[in-house]
């Protein structure tokens, strides 16, 4: 599974042009759940083409635009279309179900 590190400067440009399903994950070095996610999510058999990581501490503009209030926070983007936040536990089964539920919703514009 591909992994990208995004910033305020390239976040929207990348998400609009990437094919397939991207999971955008806001994290922080000081967050223990975020460190767990960074270590374990790449190994899960998720039906996504890539994980897009963004450091919440260093990218305040994105945090504000996306309305991130807790970490880690996950968003789903498919073929440049924004499907919103994915709320679920960080386990393979819960994330697959969360992806299906999120992608069943109407898409919106990127924040």
Which CATH number covers residue 32?
A: 3.40.30.10
What would the two tokens of residue 44 be?
A: 């899960």
69-84 mean pLDDT? 96
| SS3 state of residue 102 | helix
pLDDT at residue 71 above 90?
yes
Domain that holds residue 54: 2-103
pLDDT of residue 109: 87
The dihedral of CA 56, 23, 31, 69: what is its sign?
Answer: positive
Average pLDDT, integer, range 84-105: 96
pTM score, two decimals? 0.95
Say if 108 falls within a structural domain: no
Work out the mean pLDDT of the chain and round it to a whole number. 96
DSSP 49: S
Structural domain contains residue 111: no
110 found inside a domain: no
C-alpha distances out from residue 6 to 22, 97, 107, Å: 12, 25, 21
User: Looking at the 3D structure of the chain, how many domains does it have?
Assistant: 1
Tens-digit pLDDT profile for residues 13-49:
999 999 999 999 999 999 999 999 999 999 999 999 9
């Amino acid at each position: 599974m591909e992994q990208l590190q995004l910033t305020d400067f390239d976040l929207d440009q990348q998400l609009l042009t990437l094919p397939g399903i991207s999971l955008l994950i806001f994290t922080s070095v000081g967050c223990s759940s975020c460190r767990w996610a960074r270590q374990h999510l790449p190994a899960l058999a998720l039906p996504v083409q890539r994980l897009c990581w963004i450091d919440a501490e260093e990218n305040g503009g994105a945090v504000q635009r996306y309305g991130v209030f807790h970490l880690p926070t996950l968003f789903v983007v498919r073929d440049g279309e924004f499907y919103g936040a994915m709320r679920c536990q960080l386990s393979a089964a819960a994330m697959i179900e969360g992806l299906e539920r999120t992608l069943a919703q109407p898409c919106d514009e990127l924040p």
